[in-house]
Structure 1
Amino acid sequence: MQRRSIRRVVAAVLCAVAASIVSGIPVSAAPVGAPGVTLGSVTSPDGSFIERMEVTDARHLRLFVHSAAMNQTFPVDVQRPADTATPKPALYLLNGAGGGVDRASWQLRTDALDFLSDKDVNVVQIIGGAWTFYTDWVKPDPVLGVNKWQTYIAEELPPLIDAALGTNGVNAIAGLSMSGIPVLNLAIAKPGLFRSAAVYSGLTQVSDPAGQQAVKLTVELYGGGDAENMWGPVGGPLWAANDPLVNAEKLRGTHLFVSTGTGIPGIHDQPGGPFRMEKPADTPKTVALGALIEGAIFVSSHNLQARLDQLGIPGTFVYRETGTHSWGYWQDDLKTSWPVLAKGLFPQP
């Protein structure tokens, strides 16, 4: 009789496990190898949710987040702090124009994760959004689709990340190149959500002719989209509404870091160097293009600094004597910016 009872219990457990597999409901909200991670049933206010998770090891995992605003699921790569016994802050990292879905990403091109591994912070890498400027587009684009990236990053993702990782709700954000505008605009749109913001070789103004041309080249020439589907006709009110220079007053209270080179080739611009993505024979051409981009960003960064100075808003601006638009400099700049990021992530009482 006792054996039959034991067999019934075992059978019941196996049936429960089988049912959970068939229904897609995880047996455990925190699989072995992901301590402190809880998927649960948390949703964002608009119904966004985490579909599932893949665990690489105890500190690295990929979340698959369904965005209600875009009706699409995107991966989010996470590096957990070494100590998860108490809630820790989160540093959101944005990639450049490729959105991190190509070879040009923080994870593949730099030692950013190694550098941040002892910083007691959750590192949250946004994946997706290539050529979109991580903004909310006014219309769906035939090539680039539906884009509501500001809503995703500012509204949908944070409550999911906080619940899943058990963060303390304190955030900072950093990004390079195309991400310069959205990093600043996210800080402007949601004051206090990101207490520090760092921009590496990123455009910082878009309602002037040079900025407008840079945006159009990114969206249309490289991305194949239509910039009017993003912010309406060029020069229209939405271009000014999304210009950090115009809206700089709303950056008050955010710890700011902005860096750029001059466009003069430097240490990371040698053919065959560890940060070069092109064939050595193509390096001179790539460096020349990077020099033009960086030179324009150099001017844009000075304009932002002048505006902040006019408003009495502090910011840390680093102008390297050399350097074009490439990953070696962004790796260096991330490390240089850490004290500024840390001011927001670990505020002193």
Structure 2
Amino acid sequence: MYRLPRCLVSLFTLSFALVATGIAAGPAAAEGPARIVDVRPLGGRQFEVVVHSGAMDKPVTLWLSHPGSGAPALYLLNAVDGGEDGGPWMRRTDVAEFFADRPVNVIVPMGGRASYYTDWIADDPVLGRNKWETFLTRELPPLLDARFGMTGRNAVAGLSMSATSALNLAIHAPGLYQAVGAYSGCPRTSDPAARAIVYSQLALFGANATNMWGDPGHPAWLEHDPMLHLDRLRGTALYLSSGNGAPGPHEVLNSRGIDGDPLRLADRVLVGGTMESIVSNCTGPLAAALAARQIPATVHFHPGTHAWAYWQDDLHRSWPVFAGALGV
């Protein structure tokens, strides 16, 4: 029986609101400072790394593609499910193959569903404690740099929900990232319509956005609106992209993620198309605002829907931007 896709439920909710080579260590302790607790080889240059976050007091699992010491890092953030439901970057794209011979560490944190990869002002009854910004910008990089001989030069990219996260991480940790990619994101959070989108996304997972950034009048909503802090991105290499919602080259039966299923194709065209048309109305003003401030950005608008096939394309297209900024 065909199950109603989560993205379809998300769209209905949104419309109602508006209209994730070393020696393995032992198991993680229950508390204490951030530290690497396990490194598990997966074959070739791939590893599973478990890091205890002191800020969140829990282990976080990472997928790592490690070329050897002396390489920079690219952090890839998962979508709103944190890579838990539909799968992370490694299952949805060719990220392992694409970076198999490239001189960069690729890190995919697992988890963080509906968290916006930010520091929440309060624990959530459903999601628990979210201090992802602290983990990603302060706890994790020095641990990976020391253990795997990384250079300290970093890029970060996100898609859909985490596109906003990638921009905010760079804004709040100046100098940490030399490049940022935002694929199919809606980087507004402070106006009523944007807040409604955020509330609806988190509600799908039973979470309350008030625990993230407070009541609608709380200043945290303004602080986490990239549109209000674009000058803090000056000097960072930027790549932005979105589809226009119209069927594109990946709206065909043999496309990855559709796999010959006509119902999946219909879902992508109708639901993914509508979602991406909303995203386009966010990305366009972002690109225009950067241009007005003379902040350089590589921008790619294309036909297509809200789908992983396009985010794989975005990753390929944005790699030269990241590589130039990372010095590889």
Q: Is the 8 A contact 1:100 1:127 kept in 2?
A: yes
Task: Look up the match of 2:16.
Answer: none
**Pick aligned residue for 1:121 from 104, 109, 126:** 104
CA contact (8 A) 2:53 2:135 kept: yes
In the alignment, the residues of structure 2 paired with residue 209 and residue 319 of structure 1 have an alpha-carbon distance, to the nearest angstrom, of: 26
Whole-Å Cα distance in 2 between the matches of residues 230 and 190 of structure 1?
19
Distance 1:72 1:330 in 2: 29
- Residue identity matched to 1:128: G
> Residue 67 of structure 1: which of 33, 37, 53 is its match?
53
For residue 313 of structure 2, the aligned residue among 332, 343, 347 is 332
In the alignment, is the contact (CA less than 8 A) between 1:38 and 1:163 conserved in 2? no
Q: Is 2:95 the counterpart of 1:95?
A: no
Whole-Å Cα distance in 2 between the matches of residues 271 and 209 of structure 1? 38
Helix, strand or coil for the counterpart of 1:259?
strand
Write the letter of the residue equivalent to 1:343.
G
- Partner of residue 170, structure 2: 187
1:38: Cα distance to partner? Answer: 6.3
Counterpart in 1 of 2:3? none
Describe the superposition over 1:109-167 as per-residue Cα deviations: whole angstroms up to 9, x where unpaired. 11122111222011111111011110111111111111011111011100111011111
Query: In the alignment, does 2:226 pair up with 1:281?
Result: no
User: Which 5+ residue runs of structure 1 have no aligned equivalent?
Assistant: 1-33
Which residue identity does 1:48 align to in structure 2? A
Residues 247-301 of structure 1: CA deviation (Å, up to 9, x unaligned): 1110011000000000112221234532338953243234322122211111111
Cα distance in structure 2, aligned partners of 1:140 and 1:278: 42
Matches of 1:345 and 1:129, distance apart in 2 = 26
Equivalent pair of 1:259/1:319 in contact (CA under 8 Å) = yes
Give the one of 144, 155, 171 matched to 1:172. Answer: 155
Counterpart of 2:291, as a letter, is: D
- SS at structure 1 position matched to 2:226: coil
2 CA distance for matches of 1:40 and 1:219? 35
Number of the residue aligned with 1:224: 206
Amino acid paired to 2:47: L
* Residue 270, structure 1, aligned to residue 252, structure 2: yes
Q: Deviations over 1:40-92 (max 9, x none)?
A: 89xxxx820111121112411111111111101010110111xx2x5111111
Structure 1 distance, partners of 2:99, 2:191, is: 36
Q: Deviations over 1:211-244 (max 9, x none)?
A: 2122111101x21100100111124321111000
Alignment length (residue pairs): 303
Q: Is residue 2:43 matched to residue 1:51?
A: no
Query: Which runs of 5 or more residues in structure 2 are unaligned?
Result: 1-20, 27-31
Whether the 8 Å CA contact 1:39–1:164 is kept in 2: the answer is no
Instruction: Report the Cα distance in structure 1 between the residues aligned to 2:44 and 2:320, rounded to whole angstroms.
Output: 27
> Is 2:288 the counterpart of 1:306?
yes
TM-score w.r.t. the length of structure 1 is: 0.82
Decide whether the 8 Å contact of 2:268 with 2:305 is kept in 1: no
Q: Could you tell me whether the CA contact under 8 Å between 1:138 and 1:232 is conserved in 2?
A: yes
Distance 1:217 1:291 in 2: 18
Percent of aligned positions that are identical: 41
* Matched-pair contact (CA < 8 Å) for 1:271–1:281: no
SS at match of 1:250: helix
Q: TM-score, normalised by structure 2?
A: 0.88
